[in-house]
Structures are given as C-alpha cells and as structure tokens.
C-alpha cells in the first residue's frame, strides 16, 4: 500500500430540511389549523482515529465528503428525518489543519479520539410554530440552515516509541529489518527509503514500535531532499537512535549535519533523548573504529555505541538502551495522564452539577 502522510480534502455537512406549510383538513373538524412540521437536521461530519490504519492513501483518491441533507417537514406535524452523519476514519496520530495550515483544528493521538469537523444545518420551522390568537392560519415557514463547508488538510505524524535518524545510506533500513519483521527496501545507493517504515521490536520480553524515516541531507529542514515532510514523524518519538555510517570519512561531520537539521526544524527534536550508534562496525578495522568512536564521542559529548545491522554485533545493547529510555518515557506519560484525570475529577467535584 502506498504511504501518504498528507492530503487536502473538502467536507460539507448536510443542509437542514425546510419547514412545511400545511393545514389540517378533516371532515367534521371545524377548526383545523396549521400542522406543518419542522425540517430535519443536516448530517454532521466527524473524524475518528482508529487502529489498523497507517496511511492517508484513501483521501488521496477521494477528496470530497458530504453528509446527507435533512428531510423536509411534512403535514400532520411530522418532522423530517435528520440527515445521516458521516465519519471519516483516519490513522492514529492524524492532525487536522485549516486550508492554509495556519491553525490546528484537532490532533487525534489516541484510538477512539473523535471530533466534529462540520456541524449539520438546523432544520427549518413549519407553519405550526407561527400560529397565534391573531394569526390562526399562518402561511409562513423557514428554510433549513445551510451546512458548513470547508477545505482542510489531514497530516499524519506516525506514533512510534523510537525513531531512526541519519544520513542516507547510514544503514537505517538494514537495522530495522534486522530487529523487526518489517521488510524495507535495502540497496547500496542513497534514498532507498522513500517513505517512513514501522516495525515492532521485541527485547527482554517487551515490545516497542520503531520508525525509520527517509535519510536526511543538509537543508532538509528547509525542504531540501525529502525535507520536513518526514521530519514531523519523529516529533512524537520518545527517543531517537542516530545511526552514523562508520565507513564514512567524516563521521563527526555526518553527526553535525543531522543535528543542525533537527535544530533548524524545531519542535525540540534536539532535546529528545538520543542514542548514537556508529554503524557498519563489521566493515571497519578495530583500531580505525575506535578512533572514529572517540572522535564522535568527543564531538557529541555523549556515549557512542558501535554496532552492525548486518552481523548483529552491538544491536542487542542498542535495543536495551532504547528500551530503558522508552520504559521511563511511558512511566512519565502514564503519571501525567493520571494527574490530569485527577485534576479533572477535582474540578467536577468542586463545581456546579445539574440536579
């Protein structure tokens, strides 16, 4: 399935049904009077995050979504049926922006998150609403309100526990294939990965989701190469694994290039926990490998792990280091959610409640 992480769509809620002008006409009923019913409400447009989806490809080929119109009112005080609502199902992690992407409408980060994107128009009033002692036969009704319509942009930011970053050909896809059942394309040329890949890693009886984004190059934060389209996918990661090609002549330069792009992109990507891995250790003499590791550790002021996605050397240590950070990140998020739920309960208990 083709990976699509952004799509522009048009949504329109249903118009309300018109009110009806009708009079009661029955044999032996002397005073019939107005009995026109109200129009039904137009259908709403909802967006809901569901499990089992990881792409917005469905919205690439169908861009217009319209809810049904409410039925018109009828005689005998019959109210028209409400228009059917429609629900657009999107992957977890989808953001909804206005047409110009200046305003974030909703961020659906949990399965079951649901937001009303466009409210259906209200139904019109029938003539029975306008009867009075001075106007016993009103011939007035109101039309249904028009539904809301808008263009919106859906943008998917994958939700993963850990993310792989690095220059093209750093060995990210090989690493992902070695530690998960994902089958990314692997070749000996740059930009083999053209879309993010996800895989589930098992370590010490635990599991976490690892995301591999296409290789970054200098200027990526400004849109060069695959640009910022895929940098957004690592915003939600709890920890980053920065892989550096150990066979490169300038490993320090490779590290600094990626860090500069992360800093220029913003979203506090450089503030995330990061593990640095000097990859392709199996293809480098031990003395040269140690020399590059020390130089990289000095430049980054962080510990540097040596590993090889091909031979598996050092891979388990890297996964264990990732899991230690992820475990703490999950613990903090659980605590924050519990604190937030407690605060909401306190506000409800201390506030007004209807009888």
Annotated binding residue at 173? yes
Annotated binding residue at 193? yes
Annotated binding residue at 122? no
Annotated binding residue at 27? no
Strand partners, 203: 206
Annotated binding residue at 103? no
Annotated binding residue at 310? yes
Annotated binding residue at 170? yes
Annotated binding residue at 348? no
CA 159, 165, 168, 172 torsion-angle sign: negative
Annotated binding residue at 166? yes
Annotated binding residue at 82? no
Annotated binding residue at 247? no
Annotated binding residue at 183? no
Annotated binding residue at 81? no
Annotated binding residue at 213? yes
Annotated binding residue at 307? no
Annotated binding residue at 138? no
Annotated binding residue at 312? no
Annotated binding residue at 168? yes
The encoded tokens of residue 184 equal: 């990314």
Annotated binding residue at 185? no
Annotated binding residue at 282? yes
**Which parts are annotated binding residues for Mg(2+)?**
173, 193
**Which parts are annotated binding residues?**
166-173, 191-195, 212-215, 279-282, 308-310
**Which parts are annotated binding residues for GTP?**
166-173, 191-195, 212-215, 279-282, 308-310
């Amino acid at each position: 399935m083709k990976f699509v992480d952004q799509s522009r769509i048009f949504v329109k809620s249903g118009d309300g049904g018109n009110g009806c002008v009708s009079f009661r006409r029955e044999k032996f009923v002397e005073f019939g009077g107005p009995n026109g019913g109200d129009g039904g409400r137009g259908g709403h447009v909802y967006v809901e995050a569901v499990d089992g989806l990881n792409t917005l490809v469905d919205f690439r080929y169908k861009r217009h979504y319209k809810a049904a119109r409410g039925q018109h009112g009828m005689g005998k005080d019959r109210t028209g049926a409400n228009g059917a609502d429609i629900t657009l199902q999107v992957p977890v992690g989808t953001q909804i922006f206005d047409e110009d992407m200046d305003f974030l409408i909703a961020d659906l980060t949990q399965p079951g998150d649901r937001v009303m994107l466009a409210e259906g128009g209200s139904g019109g009033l029938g003539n029975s609403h306008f009867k009075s002692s001075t106007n016993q036969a009103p011939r007035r009704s109101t039309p249904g309100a028009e539904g809301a319509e808008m263009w919106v942009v859906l943008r998917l930011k994958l939700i993963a526990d850990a993310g792989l970053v690095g220059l093209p050909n750093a060995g990210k896809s090989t690493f992902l294939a070695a530690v998960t059942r994902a089958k990314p394309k692997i070749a000996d040329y740059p930009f083999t990965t053209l879309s993010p890949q996800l895989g589930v890693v098992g370590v010490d009886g635990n599991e976490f989701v690892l995301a591999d984004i296409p290789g970054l190059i200098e200027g990526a934060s400004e849109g060069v190469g695959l640009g910022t389209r895929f940098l957004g996918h690592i915003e939600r990661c709890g920890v980053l694994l920065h892989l550096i090609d150990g066979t490169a002549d300038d490993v320090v330069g490779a590290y600094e290039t990626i860090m500069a792009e992360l800093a220029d992109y913003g979203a506090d990507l450089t503030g995330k926990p990061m593990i640095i891995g000097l990859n392709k250790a199996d293809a480098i003499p031990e003395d040269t490998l140690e020399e590059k590791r020390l130089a990289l550790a000095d430049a980054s002021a962080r510990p540097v792990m040596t590993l090889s996605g091909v031979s598996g050397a050092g891979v388990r240590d890297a996964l264990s280091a990732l899991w230690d950070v992820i475990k703490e990140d999950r613990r903090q998020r659980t605590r924050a959610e519990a604190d937030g739920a407690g605060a909401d309960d306190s506000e409800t208990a201390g506030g007004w409640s209807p009888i």
